[in-house]
């Protein structure tokens, strides 16, 4: 990687810092859900994909089994496979570099890379690596801070953490609700999960809503 | 600290991490034509909306498999207002937390 485009570097850094700060919310949510500080940090280091991490601690914190937590998190992680497909021809990496590239293939690194493509493939590549590594560093530092902070707090409800966690989710979700189908799906998923909650073991009502996404996806007009 | 094979939290940490990496690596490695059907892309973009919505609902309105309305509902309602007003992420989260904590203390 020779000279770094200034605009690319600036965008990578601002995305890294902004998104990294979400790590505080994750670290706090994870500890509030019963995970240790070490487990919270390992999730950020190894899983390293925000929505999946929030999902697994959310499901287990609500009393769900490990299997339903893993399944929910993994369904959310499938989009990283699609990002990888998109990025592979841009990055052209093999061996150890491909392993590193895979680990940092997330919403943000892919997003910045695509936004830099008009400056050429080199800028796209730099955007991917700078953003991926930047988010990785800040996400992990802020996870530790959030986890330690939550541990020092005591009862999460006294600090409003029990509302902060769903609010953080909502913040992740909100920008994705672009059209009517998205909003209808969101409301339907809330209704289905709540209706199922009294009758099913925790975790099942959440993952069941993936079927709603399937139904909506099959019915959606792709060319609208 | 003792790590036992069947501790659900450790199982969740390791299982989630392993599958997350496999999913990422798969994308970097398989031919693009395998997974780029428009219908698959559409469904994949809708899955996070459904799952995250369900998580928000369950975390806001349930406790021990029961439906319940408590201080969390007020906190999340404030978050919705903040999001409608296009508030930045920290404001959304902190306003929800402050509302919920205040009601928790009053109760």
SS (H, E, C) chain B: CCCCCCCHHHHHHHHHHHHHHHHHHHHHHCCHHHCCCHHHHHHHHHHHHHHHHHHHHHHHHEECCEECCCHHHHHHHHHHHHHHCCCCHHHHHHHHHHHHHHHHHHC
Which residue of chain B has the CA closest to A73?
B16
Same domain, B15 and B53: no
Q: What pTM does this model have?
A: 0.81
Please give, rounded to a whole number of angstroms, the shortest distance from the CA of B56 to a CA of chain A.
5
**A85: closest CA among B76, B30, B82?**
B30
Which residues 38-77 on chain A approach chain B with CB closer than 8 angstroms?
38-39, 42-43, 46-49, 51-56, 58-60, 62-63, 65-67, 69-70, 72-77
Residue B16 half-sphere exposure toward CB, CA atoms < 13 A: 37
Q: What is the largest CA-CA distance in chain B?
A: 58
B88, pLDDT greater than 70: yes
CB-based contact B12 A48, cutoff 8 Å: no
Which residue of chain A has the CA closest to B40?
A217
Q: Would you give the DSSP letter of residue B30?
A: S
- With cut-offs at 50, 70 and 90, classify the pLDDT of residue A222: low
Same domain, B82 and B64: yes
- Average pLDDT of B58-83? 93
Residue A192 half-sphere exposure toward CB, CA atoms < 13 A: 22
At B4 the pLDDT is 53
Same domain, B43 and B25: no
**A164: closest CA among B47, B88, B56?**
B56
Q: Would you give the DSSP letter of residue B5?
A: T
How buried is residue A51: exposed, middle or buried, by Cβ count under 10 Å (0-12/13-18/19+)? buried
Same domain, B11 and B45: no
Same domain, B43 and B93: yes
Please give, rounded to a whole number of angstroms, the shortest distance from the CA of B94 to a CA of chain A.
7
| ipTM confidence score | 0.85
Please count the other Cβ atoms lying within 10 Å of the Cβ belonging to residue B8.
Answer: 15
Please count the other Cβ atoms lying within 10 Å of the Cβ belonging to residue B34.
Answer: 12
Owning domain of residue B102: 36-106
Same domain, B45 and B78: yes
Least confidently predicted of A112-116, A126-130, A207-211, B5-9 = B5-9
Residues of A in contact with B76 (CB under 8 A): 163, 166-167, 170
For A17, the token pair is 């810092």
Same domain, B54 and B24: no
> Could you report the per-residue pLDDT of A21-75, keeping only the tens digit for each?
889 889 999 999 999 999 999 999 999 999 899 999 999 998 999 999 999 999 9
Which residue from A54, A166, A218 is facing B60, i.e. has the nearest CB?
Answer: A166
Those residues whose C-beta lies under 8 Å from the C-beta of residue B3, and which sit 6 or more positions away, are B10
Number of domains chain B is built from: 2
């Amino acid at each position: 990687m020779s000279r770094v485009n200034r605009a690319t570097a600036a965008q990578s850094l601002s995305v890294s810092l902004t998104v990294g700060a979400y790590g505080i919310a994750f670290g706090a949510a994870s500890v509030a859900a019963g995970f240790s500080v070490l487990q919270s940090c390992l999730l950020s280091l190894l899983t390293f994909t925000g929505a999946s991490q929030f999902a697994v601690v959310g499901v287990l914190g609500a009393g769900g089994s490990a299997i339903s937590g893993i399944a929910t998190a993994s369904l959310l992680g499938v989009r990283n496979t699609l990002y990888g497909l998109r990025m592979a021809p841009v990055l052209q990496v093999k061996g150890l570099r491909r392993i590193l590239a895979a680990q940092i293939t997330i919403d943000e690194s892919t997003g910045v890379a695509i936004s830099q493509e008009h400056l050429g493939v080199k800028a796209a590549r730099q955007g991917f690596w700078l953003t991926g590594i930047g988010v990785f560093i800040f996400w992990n530092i802020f996870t530790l801070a959030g986890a330690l902070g939550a541990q020092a707090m005591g009862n999460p409800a006294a600090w409003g953490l029990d509302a902060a966690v769903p609010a953080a989710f909502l913040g992740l979700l909100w920008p994705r609700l672009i059209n009517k189908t998205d909003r209808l799906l969101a409301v339907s998923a809330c209704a289905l999960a709540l209706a199922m909650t009294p009758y099913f073991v925790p975790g099942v009502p959440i993952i069941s809503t993936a079927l709603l996404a399937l139904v909506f996806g099959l019915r959606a007009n792709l060319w609208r | 600290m003792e790590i036992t094979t069947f501790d659900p939290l450790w199982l969740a940490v390791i299982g989630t991490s392993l599958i997350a990496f496999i999913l990422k690596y798969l994308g970097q490695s398989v031919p693009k034509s395998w997974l780029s059907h428009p219908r698959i892309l559409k469904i994949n973009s809708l899955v996070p909306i459904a799952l995250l919505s369900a998580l928000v609902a369950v975390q806001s309105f349930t406790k021990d498999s029961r439906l319940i309305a408590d201080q969390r509902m007020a906190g999340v309602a404030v978050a919705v207002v903040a999001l409608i007003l296009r508030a930045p992420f920290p404001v959304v989260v902190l306003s929800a937390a402050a509302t919920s904590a205040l009601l928790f203390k009053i109760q």
